[in-house]
A and B are shown apart, each in its own frame.
Chain A
């Protein structure tokens, strides 16, 4: 690092230009950056339970998670309303059945029309008069491009072609597996001794739906809808008086884990049909909304965070360089890491959105430390000459920043083997970002200072500044007094706080519920509640009940067991299970039985005879497109050997109560206990589904973050052990962070803040940043002791020097991130709050608890390695302004490290 700083100072322009070129190149990578909010990034793909889930999905399809649309209109029972609903369905179906020839023709025609030159929107639409579905797609895409009327510019035309081509590519992947709706569903009818599978809405020879027209036709449609009890809350909802108010569209995907692009397209289609009242819900949609919220709030609030940080920079340094250089550091760090991710094709996940925030935090921190060093050594630099002085000053601080950076780097890199791709990428790129921040801060600031004139504009305002920060002086004085003279009481208070926090820990709710992140009146929560009321829930899980033998599902006893289980699941007495609806194979048998008895609802039940069931299955006239032994419509509910029945239970947040990971665990436990008690011995069961995976993911994320958190402690202890060669000191170094963590979690417990995906990540970030406080304090203290000060004086002086630096850094981050409290999105609010809590806790831990512990334990921190060169520093430190007084620590620390390295080499 010494050589590197020398090189930087010798070639400041080249280094700055180099950094600038890299920044420009990598900034182009940001344009390649894509957001990936897909569920796949959060699935524990190596976990045994996920592998089972994956196997189940291969047999039954992605049936537990879907997008659901509730479609309504003030005048629902009108032909023109049905036409509008049909258009919506046609637009969605384009992503279910791909017609390559048709799409090619459309693209060719569009290219030809646009190649003619400027064209008005209306003229373009007229070209596709006979292709209304494509016409609507063009309108949709143009609207997205900001076109509303008039001539389509050449740029818009080019973008339109790209968007249409992208839509065609998405269509070709046929991501939508099935759309279950009143307009598409088939029913089995046994009217007039005629057994037939009927569509509720028939199609003509061209495949177009023949929509009802006139009262009689609508009455017939309603009667067909109501004939089959399975359809209620499945594809239609009523108003409580039995009047149908909404149609349900259940959209299932080929692979839910990769549903992000198609879910976005569905949202786009839904928004374009604004003449209908459509509520859209489902797990893929929630993920997208959540991501949109985060992106929107971050893009709005991050600049504000930066602005506040800049203000803090200015207050601290009172100079242009004091603002520009740290700002460049954090700006470039952010661009480098995001640009690299873009070039490497690593998408920004829901967790990855926090990377820019982290870069701002560490960039600020490192920038402040290095620049503070410059101001601290200002007189020294003046004495030794600019380049030599800067070299001495910057080399020391750069190594320290490198050291603290490496500590944080290791903490984040522990996530590189994490089960979840999103957390793995997040850990790796946070770690790389830390390294970038170290490199940039150790390059830009020394090079910038080398090129700038060596004068201290801020010094003439010293008096005002000291006055302004008089409260800091007072606070430090109080800290010193308390920790030195009342260390026993301090530790007693800390002990009591820990006790209280431990009690708080027991209250800590380890639960993740994505909807909890949104305010109660947010559309994500209100629509989830509405969909739950109307259609029994927006997501579900699967209970696979194995009959123990091939064709065992065809037994009436087995099917009755399934029916009894479903009744139990949906019973009012078991409302804590939050089951809004269940679907199972037995519904088909019941429907067939009813059809075979002239649609008499009394026969909507499992027949008593096995022969009946076998006959129904022989004659059920459904298509088996993949020839796997099951009619396509059975695939979600029974395996090809008719051995296992899949009961799909839809989860509904009753009375607006959210179902988080803890709630899900309760449900699964209750279901397991019930099945253990009631299921005949020959049958067995397993529970799986996306909610089950969500619990696993949450466990992995929270566990991973906590693991990273505690590993950080280990890293700190090792670093301190390496520096001080004192085991007791290494243990002491853990005190501030441990206290901070316990109090942090205690506060969370008492205040009802849940330990979830967001808060566990926040804890890891903030504590990762707070790592260096402890190291600063211990080394400064150690050097004062070496220089002959007694323990009390050493503590006092350490607080005067290191304390202020720590307080300034914490202030910058606390003030900066407090801005996030303004967000309506809860995770960001929590980020701001917890950042403040943790920073206060780590600061107090390092500045009050640690000295009190030193007093109590009387640990000897007078190592033989404290550099002689630093012995002259205290005088310098005492003379400097508050923001720069701690500079001596760095000199001491760096000298110490250098000496350590030398000794290490000598020992070898």
Chain B
């Protein structure tokens, strides 16, 4: 099975290992090589902080890894609308995304729209796709504390598929390679950053209970608060079919 990790919820965790003389790629491989859940179902509260207003949204996210070298994720909103977003991740090419409106109408999201905000949050559609270890070239650029933990600082530049960000900087924890923070650079500037908080083990898998995507200029952020998560449960594959969206 191909190893992947989601940028939004970094669900893959590793045991602490010596990183002596490791390259950026090796560090990220350590992070990527860890076992992950085959399926996951979570309920998430999304708080969007914009213009002095906090917009609340809630969704259920289900994710399943498939043997045919792809994984699929379904985000179904509970409020304020009932839209659904289905993502099929592929190796070596752009992912497919479909959107189902409350009215039942389904539309495919074009890859050119991946750099656009998802439901007006600070996450882009790109952030909701899975990331293959080979999609990026890595370079260890230093060590720095992130979310109160000593971390490596690894620069990644996307080399496969549409490039939304100029580069991203991962901050895997020295202790367990769990990526505590990701900095996103866009149009030559530090654009936004993601931080994972309250990381706890659930079913043996380190899971952040809160993730915050914040703009670099401090003008807004989106919090994702995990209200519940279950790993390795039985999820019917039919749910992830495009036709099932209707």
Contact = CB atoms under 8 A, between A and B. Distances in A.
Contact of A193 (B55, B108, B116, B117): B108
Contacts of B68: none
Given A196-B113, A621-B113, A627 B215 contact: yes
Q: Which of B108, B112, B117, B120 has the most CB of A within 10 A?
A: B120
B103 A615 contact: yes
Nearest to B116: A621
A461 B50 CA distance: 87
Contacts of B119: 618-619
Contact of A614 (B48, B80, B106, B108): B80
B150 to A, nearest CB: 31
Interface residues of B, number: 32
Contact of A618 (B50, B103, B112, B120): B120
A879 interface: no
B108 A619 contact: no
B101 interface: yes
B193 to A, nearest CB: 14
Interface string B194-218: 0000000000000000000001000
Contacts of A196: 109-110, 112-113
Q: Chain A contact residues (Cβ within 8 angstroms of B): what range?
A: 20 to 34
A609 interface: yes
Interface in A398-416: none
Contacts of B122: 627
A87 to B, nearest CB: 23
B83 interface: yes
A614 B81 CA distance: 7
A629 interface: yes
Contacts of A385: none
A629 B99 CA distance: 21
A619 B51 contact: no
A144 interface: no
A611 B109 contact: no
Most buried by B among A196, A197, A620, A622: A196
Contacts of A631: 117, 120
B116 A194 contact: no
Contacts of B50: 624, 627-629, 640
Contacts of B18: none
Contacts of B103: 609, 611-612, 615
A641 B52 CA distance: 10
B116 A629 contact: no
A609 B101 CA distance: 12
A624 B219 CA distance: 11
Contacts of A621: 109, 113, 116-117, 125
Contacts of B107: 190, 193-195, 596
B102 interface: yes
Contacts of B105: 596
B51 A629 contact: yes
Nearest to A99: B188
A362 B219 CA distance: 58
Contacts of B80: 614
Given A621-B116, A624-B117, A640-B50, A193 B81 contact: no
A876 interface: no
Interface string B22-60: 000000000000000000000000001011110100000
Contacts of B51: 627-630, 640
A623 interface: yes
Interface in B98-142: 99, 101-103, 105-110, 112-113, 116-117, 119-120, 122, 125
9 contacts: A195-B109, A195-B113, A614-B81, A615-B103, A621-B116, A624-B120, A629-B50, A629-B53, A640-B52
Closest 4 CB pairs of A and B: A627-B220, A621-B116, A196-B110, A195-B107
Interface of A: 190, 193-198, 596, 609, 611-612, 614-615, 617-624, 626-631, 640-641
Given A193-B108, A194-B110, A618-B81, 8 more contacts: A195-B99, A195-B113, A196-B113, A619-B119, A627-B215, A629-B50, A630-B51, A640-B50
